[in-house]
Amino acid sequence: MSDKYLQRGVSAAKEEVHAAIKNLDKGLFPQAFCKIHPDYLAGDKDFVNVMSSDGSGTKSIIAYLYWKETGDASVWRGIAQDVIVMNLDDLLCVGATGPFVYNSIINRNKHKIPGEIIKEIIEGTASFFDMLKTYDIHCHFLGGETADLGDITQTLTTDGTMTTRMPKKQIINNGNIQAGQVIVGLAGFGQASYETEYNSGIGSNGLTSARHDLLAKNYATNFPESFDSNTNQDVLYCGKHQLTDEVGLPLNIGKMLLSPTRTFSPVIKKIIDALGTNIKGLVHCTGGGQTKVLHYINHVDIVKNNLLEIPAFFKLIQQESGTDWQEMFKVYNCGTKFEVYTDEKSAEQVIAIAKSFHIEAQIIGYTSAQQTTKPRVIIQHDSNEYSY
C-alpha cells in the first residue's frame, strides 16, 4: 500500500514536507496544533495571532467526476465546506473559537469548469458560514482569488486561509499532553444535529487512495483529466465501482466519498466553555490519520485501545484495496475524527456534550510515560497491535 500511495504521487506522513520546514520558526508554542505568533497586527502582548492554510486536496476531482456523470452541481458546496473545515477545525485545536476571517483560493481550468461551479463553491461557502453563525461561530468571508490556470490545473483546486487573534491565556497547547490523561474520541461519521444527511466521516484525507481503489477503470478512460498521465496505469482506478453504485451503505459510493468534512466547532466551543483549562490537548485527525498526534507530543506514548467502531465504508476501502490496518490507520481517520485529551472526570462531560449534538464519543485510550527513544502511538484493534 505504501508503495502504491507513493506511485500515485502522495505521502500519508509527508516526511519531505516536515523535513523542509524543520528549521522554520515554530512560534510561541512549538507543540501547539497551529502556529501561534505574537499579536503582530495590534501589538497587544496579551493576545496572539493564529492562522491556518489548507484545502480539499484531490476531493475536488471526485466532485468533478460526480458532477460530470450525474449533472448534480450541488456536490461542489460540500467541497466549499471541506476547505473551510480543514482550516477552522485546525484552529479549534488551539482553543480558537472566533471571530475568524477567511479567504479562499480557487484555481480552475476554464475549459473544464464553468462559472456555475464557481458560483456553487462561493454560495456554499457563504451558506456554511450562515449555519455556523447559529452556533455562535462567526466567520467573516473576505473573498479571495479565483484564477484561470488551465496550463497547470487540469480541473479545479480549492484552498483557503483562516485567521484570528485571541487572548494568549486561552491557548490550548498540546505540550500539556502528559502521562495519566485519557483520550476522548469524537466520531466523524453519522449525522450530527447540524448536518443535513449522513456523513461517511472520510473528511479530506486519503481521497487519492480511496478514489483509485474503489472506482473502476472506465473513469481513467473517460476522464483522463482526473489523473497525472505519468502515473503507472496499474495504480489508476483499480476498483470495481461506479460513483452511483448502491452497496448497502447510507449513500451511494460517490456521496460517501464526497461527504463534507465534519466540523466539530459547535461541539468544541461548548466543551471549551464548560471545561476550560481541564482540556489539555486537542487533535484534528487529518493527514496522518490516527498517528497525527505524533507531531505534537514529547516524552509520552499514546495508547488507543478502544477506538470507535470502524464504519462500514472504511472497511469497504480496506477490503477492496487490500490495505493492511497498519497503513489504514495512518492514511485514514477510520471513523475517529477528533481527539480531546483530558482527565477522566472531565471526559464524562466531553462525551455528554458530543452526544447532545448526536455525535458518538467515548474514551478511546490513554497517555503513558514514554517507553522508547521516541514517542509512539500504539493502536490495539481486533486482537492486533500497531505501533507508529
pLDDT tens profile 107-133: 999 999 999 999 999 999 999 999 999
pLDDT band at 23 (very low <50, low <70, confident <90, very high): confident
Contacts of 25 (CB under 8 A, 6+ apart): none
CA 318/CA 132 separation, integer angstroms: 34
- Give 67-111 as a DSSP string: HHHH--TTHHHHHHHHHHHHHHHHHHTTT----EEEEEEEEE-TT
Which pLDDT tens digit goes with each residue over 214-233? 999 999 999 999 999 888 88
Q: Which of 225, 297, 376 is nearest to 30 (CA)?
A: 297
In this prediction, what percent of the chain has a pLDDT beyond 90?
A: 91
pLDDT of residue 4: 72
Say if CB 59 and CB 207 are below 8 A apart.
yes
If DSSP codes are grouped into helix, strand and coil, which group holds residue 155?
coil
Given this model, what pLDDT does residue 11 score?
62
- The set of residues, in sequence order, having a beta carbon less than 8 Å from that of 369 and lying 6+ positions away, is 179, 299, 300, 301
Please give the grid coordinates belonging to residue 162: 483562516
The predicted-structure confidence for 248-292, as pLDDT tens digits, reads as follows 999 999 999 999 999 999 999 999 999 999 999 999 999 999 999
Q: How confident is the model at residue 59 (pLDDT cuts 50, 70, 90)?
A: very high
Banded pLDDT at 10 (limits 50, 70, 90): confident
Once rounded to an integer, what is the mean pLDDT over residues 314-343?
96
- Summarize pLDDT for 201-214 with one digit per residue, the tens: 999 999 999 999 99
User: Residue 331 above 90 pLDDT?
Assistant: yes
Q: Residue 259 in 3-state DSSP?
A: coil
The SS3 assignment for 116 reads helix
Strands 281-284, 361-369: pairing kind: unpaired
CA distances from 18 to 11, 65, 161, 327 (A): 11, 32, 20, 19
Position 20 pLDDT exceeds 90: no
Residues in CB range of 372: below 8 A, 6 or more apart: none
Q: What is the mean pLDDT of the chain?
A: 95
Q: For domain 2-387, give its CATH number from 3.30.2130.10, 2.40.50.140, 3.90.650.10, 3.30.460.10.
A: 3.90.650.10
> What CA–CA distance (Å, rounded) separates 227 from 341?
39
Q: Is the pLDDT of residue 2 over 60?
A: no
Confidence band of 12 (pLDDT split at 50, 70, 90): low
- Where do the domains of the chain lie? 2-387
Residues in the chain: 388
**DSSP code, position 197:** S
